[in-house]
Structure 1
């Protein structure tokens, strides 16, 4: 999503940035950081503040938040043209590749190789690979979002569902949603997000055993059986009465206790818990998959270094290490429903281990880490246009305006035309 000229100018300039004050002494190095979106402001303010408490020689200044990950990468590409890039940025994991392909993202391999402390931080190579392209580490994942189902257990119980035996397949989930929908009084049963920067469609394709492109990226593969099953599911949801809401409206309905089941990202957990407190009981369920061998795209964001100034690069690297280390990951998890990228932090009984014991709903998403893979980004310069095409076709299917097979064929041709040949 492109930002307006006024929003872009206010976001892109350092004068519009929001300073996070550190120690009383003036820091030696200032780094500017960008992120999305506005609801995440508190997280990044807390992260910057805690980092500066450990490093009073570094000052972190936050840009005004972009609307979403697509808006952030578009903003960053414009800032590169106008020479107003921030020093570091929390980019959506599917939007790092455009920055890497254009040489905007600074590879982090030499910082990793030259830092003796890196191997003790606790971020596994399997997670690091989520932000690697062309054999280079172009970013480090900071927060992983896992696909989950959120349940309003009060509505589940009213509809005759078993709170202790939630369905584990789509037939059961849809049947339960139908019962909740029958309660009436403005209550919706089930809503499966289908617009989320292409993440939802990619997730469903993965949950049916497919992938977006061949491993060598010479051809699309989502136009096979898995892609058809994904669109058939969306068509079925539309026929079953999925509420005619957009993504944010569906989330708001769930917060208000007017929606029984919502498929979305685990990162919304803390916010949903706050809304549910005193109003309804919330439970997290796993997304149905066809096999434990399926691979689901890791939503969330990674930290990209953008500056070529040596002093600011050193400061940025120190911020990155803090953010993906145990302290930064603990701050992130306690503020959100994101899954941590730091396995050492997860197993620390004095850190996140204790947090997960006290908050078992947060542990549900972390149990799917072994199934996660990179959030696929299409090669070439049209990744954002491809995402838009995917979401447009998903809408046509959900709204019963296009047959799944016809939509898949049309989508395949549209995406292929946007890929480099």
Structure 2
């Protein structure tokens, strides 16, 4: 799939959206219940100099133009510090009204913070009407105890980014990207033989998220957590999945470098394939322009088994303490997850549009997708996305960090024995989640 979309085209599409009347309808209830109201919004994208920060500001500006009676007071915080900040603010009696919480941290947030399930805030009819256009598979995937606690906001699945120029140089066809880990290894070694690095699976990413780890393990038939809630990351299918990642490094197909270094290498045209989040698409498009042809492929599975990628990104959770602020929070969340909201999120930041109807609609993302096919492989996976698997208990996020730092990184990049290392990590995680 070829790269065509210009920055100007993206901005034109967004500008058209900002001129539309809100699809969710009307003015907010805040103006009808006592005048203007200000709600606080904690976001790990807000205030950053990258596309995430720029897109978040666009969303806030667009919302406030359509809802002048609701003011947004945003606050930025690093991804890794979200839970700590929320705990501190809650203990001080001043939690934010709305918080952007990464999916890998959502289970712990739901059990340790006073979240108000977003599904319970609007009337049942209003809720059903709003989520009707979002994939039922996505809504089911984010349920907890049969209820949606946080609205899907920024969501991505892992994708295979391809440098078509390096593929051609190695005698490979970029129109037919490898579909299995085994084929990825073969292609990567051919690319390396021509002087570039082959592939990089972002399983040990700097954000301490395990979405790619889960995707690799699930695609080999394994799981971090069993259906009964037991920790199963040291079972044979999981061991074999991470052994394959380790083999990529040992064979020379994959460089033993950090996420940032690998992303920089791909952006500079020195890495043939990068397996990571679709959230990087827009920045990689800009980096590739004038240097090499960027293409994408679906997340690679294992031979004879279906690929089962899960999602990354974040949900919007409500911690507002009174009904007036909760209703205003719902209006904000409803806008962010509307046709206009997802159009800005996709065209500006690069996350997937969770409303499929807007993909071909000229009022929204029609012009974007008419010129840009790079998200198509990932869009097709949204209907079958595997639910994010959370460790149980109030220390779920701590368990994820143990997994990533004490198992995934040593196995994949430092040659640690997969079976022994996963066994040791699993024992530590069992001790954590049973406390």
Q: Does 1:203 align with 2:215?
A: yes
Tell me how far 1:334 sits from its aligned partner: 0.4
Higher RCO structure (Cα 8 Å, ≥6 apart): 2
Out of 327, 336, 361, the residue aligned to residue 348 of structure 1 is 361
Q: Separation in 2 of the partners of 1:292 and 1:174?
A: 17
Residues 121, 326 of structure 2: 8 Å contact kept = no
Gap runs ≥5 in structure 1: 1-26
The answer for the alignment partner of 1:239 in structure 2 is 250
Post-superposition Cα deviations, 1:295-323, rounded to whole Å, max 9, x if no partner, equal 43211111111111222111110111111
Superposition deviation, residue 292 in structure 1: 7.2
**Equivalence for 1:85:** 95
The match for 2:61 among 43, 49, 53 is 49
Asked if structure 2 preserves the Cα contact closer than 8 Å seen for 1:389 and 1:411, the reply is yes
Can you list the C-alpha shifts for 1:361-394, whole angstroms capped at 9, x where unaligned? Answer: 1222111012213322211122222112211211
Matches within 5 A, 1:22-421: 28-37=36-45, 38=48, 39=50, 40-64=52-76, 66-68=77-79, 70-116=80-126, 118-120=128-130, 122-184=133-195, 187-196=196-205, 197-217=209-229, 219-241=230-252, 242-290=254-302, 295-346=308-359, 348-392=361-405, 393-420=407-434
Q: TM-score when scaled to structure 2?
A: 0.84
Deviation at 1:45, TM superposition (A): 0.4
- Secondary structure of 1:260's match? strand
- Gap regions ≥5 residues in structure 2: 1-34
Whole-Å separation in 2 of the counterparts to 1:348 and 1:239: 47
- 1:30–1:61 CA contact under 8 A, matched in 2: yes
| Count of aligned pairs between the two proteins | 391
Q: 1:354, CA displacement in angstroms?
A: 4.0
Give distance in 2, aligned partners of 1:399 and 1:295. 23
The whole-number CA distance in structure 1 between the counterparts of 2:357 and 2:83 is 30
Change (3 A) 1:280 1:301: same
C-alpha separation between the residues in 1 aligned to 2:308 and 2:256? Answer: 29
Whole-Å separation in 2 of the counterparts to 1:324 and 1:114: 17
TM-score of the pair, normalised by structure 1: 0.87
Alignment RMSD (CA, Å): 2.1
